[in-house]
Amino acid sequence: MNISLPLQYLPVKRRQWYIDMPLLLPVLALISIGLIMIASASFSFADYRYNNEFYFVARHLAYMVVGTGALCVGFFVPPAIWAQYGRLWILLSVLLLVLVLVPGIGREVNGARRWLNVGGFTLQVSELVKVATVVFLAAHLQQHRDTLADNWQEFAKLLAVIALLSILLILEPDFGSVVVLAATFMAMLFLGGTNLRQYMLVIMVAAALLYWMAEAAPYRVARLTTYLDPWSDQFNSGYQLTQSLIAFGRGEWLGVGLGQSVQKMMYLPEAHTDFVFAIYAEEFGFIGVIALLGLYVLMVLRILQLSKIAIGEKYWYGAFILLGFGLLISGQTFINLGVNAGLLPTKGLTLPFVSYGGSSLMVCCAMVGMMLRISHELHTGSPPVRRPRYER
């Protein structure tokens, strides 16, 4: 049985590489801001913990080199290759999620087992799982786009995949990644043409399960209630959020200036990772926050514009990849900013391209590379033709 996978563009003579600057420039700006803010936010903690003010800066520079390599791999590997091995990526994701739970293999930090040690660096498996899931789902939706609404069997298979991944992530536990991954998964299913009755049934079941998971662990209930009034327990469960809000308050309109933050002086925990945005707001103020948000808006708008172009060209795999990655980046950005500002319960999610974290930066760069490659295909390829890539 022939399976039609992503639309391929016929090779052209003296084909030039097209670099989508409206997408790449905001990303480069965000990465540059991230390096500056990690340097500013981590000096005190790095000096206290490692007796080296530049400890996190040096490691982040190494992560940037790895991220550049990941971007190049995403750009130069044809999209059809990722689609062809979509099922393999899911199997590897499940294997890594199982390995991270094994004592002695997975690294435990603050009661959570989410990391693997690889060559002296830590790898957060959930970041890789997000990309693998989008790649797998995009290929599947492209293949079954016209029949998914009437095919309960295929719909059930997709739900089984996200259910298995979610269970493994909860066991780490990584509730934040479950929310981002599940929301992206369900949004892609909706855009892929699933049956509305199927979709609403799953939404109701998922909402019930999320409520049950939140109630099952006391710390989750504390997070869900504390953010509503963090000052009621500001020296215990509300400590991190109150310190973040103090940072926002000190920033006012123009900020206190780069390097002049007080909250990073061992007051705000995770100042260079999950709460780096609060330090940024303190040092650059409201105007700086608007500028940073503007970069994210420009990037996401460009991704959506490219997805619209891909749909017009009937390049369905590229369109689903763009939509999936756009949802992942924008969703995680929204949650991180909401957590920092006290609008959402505390979640251990990094700010894409800005927070310290090698896994997050590497995966985000890989996603950008793949999106740049799809943009290249859209702008430089000849009219697309459907080709069966493999047989089942």
- Domain containing 189 equals 2-391
Give the pLDDT confidence score for residue 374 in this predicted structure.
Answer: 95
State the pTM of this model.
0.89
- 242 vs 218: which has the higher pLDDT: 242
Assign 208 a pLDDT band (cuts: 50, 70, 90).
confident
Pick the closest to residue 334 from 319, 321, 350 (CA basis): 350
Give the pLDDT confidence score for residue 388 in this predicted structure.
Answer: 35
Give the pLDDT confidence score for residue 3 in this predicted structure.
Answer: 41
Give the pLDDT confidence score for residue 55 in this predicted structure.
Answer: 92
Give the pLDDT confidence score for residue 375 in this predicted structure.
Answer: 95
Mean per-residue pLDDT, 289-315? 95
Give the pLDDT confidence score for residue 217 in this predicted structure.
Answer: 67
Give the pLDDT confidence score for residue 218 in this predicted structure.
Answer: 66
b/e sequence 345-355, b meaning 16+ C-beta within 10 Å = bbbbbbbbbbb
Give the pLDDT confidence score for residue 57 in this predicted structure.
Answer: 94
- 51 vs 215: which has the higher pLDDT: 51
Mean per-residue pLDDT, 326-338? 95
pLDDT at 390 over 60: no
Assign 34 a pLDDT band (cuts: 50, 70, 90).
very high
Assign 9 a pLDDT band (cuts: 50, 70, 90).
very low
- 218 vs 6: which has the higher pLDDT: 218
pLDDT at 323 over 80: yes
pLDDT digits (tens, 9 = 90+) for 177-203: 988 998 999 899 888 877 788 788 888
Mean per-residue pLDDT, 108-126? 78
pLDDT at 240 over 60: yes
Q: What is the mean pLDDT of the chain?
A: 86
Q: Pairing between strand 2-4 and 121-124?
A: unpaired
Give the pLDDT confidence score for residue 170 in this predicted structure.
Answer: 87
CB burial of residue 167 (10 Å; 0-12, 13-18, 19+): exposed
Residue 7 — φ and ψ, nearest 5°? -65, 135
pLDDT digits (tens, 9 = 90+) for 127-138: 999 999 999 999
Number of structural domains found in the chain: 1
Assign 147 a pLDDT band (cuts: 50, 70, 90).
confident
Using DSSP's 3-state secondary structure scheme, residue 388 falls into strand
Contact of 288 with 354, CB cutoff 8 Å: no
67, two tokens: 């991220």
DSSP track, 9-37 = PPP-TTPPPP--HHHHHHHHHHHHHHHHH
Mean per-residue pLDDT, 308-322? 93
Contact of 330 with 296, CB cutoff 8 Å: yes
Give the pLDDT confidence score for residue 12 in this predicted structure.
Answer: 40
Assign 287 a pLDDT band (cuts: 50, 70, 90).
very high
Assign 392 a pLDDT band (cuts: 50, 70, 90).
very low
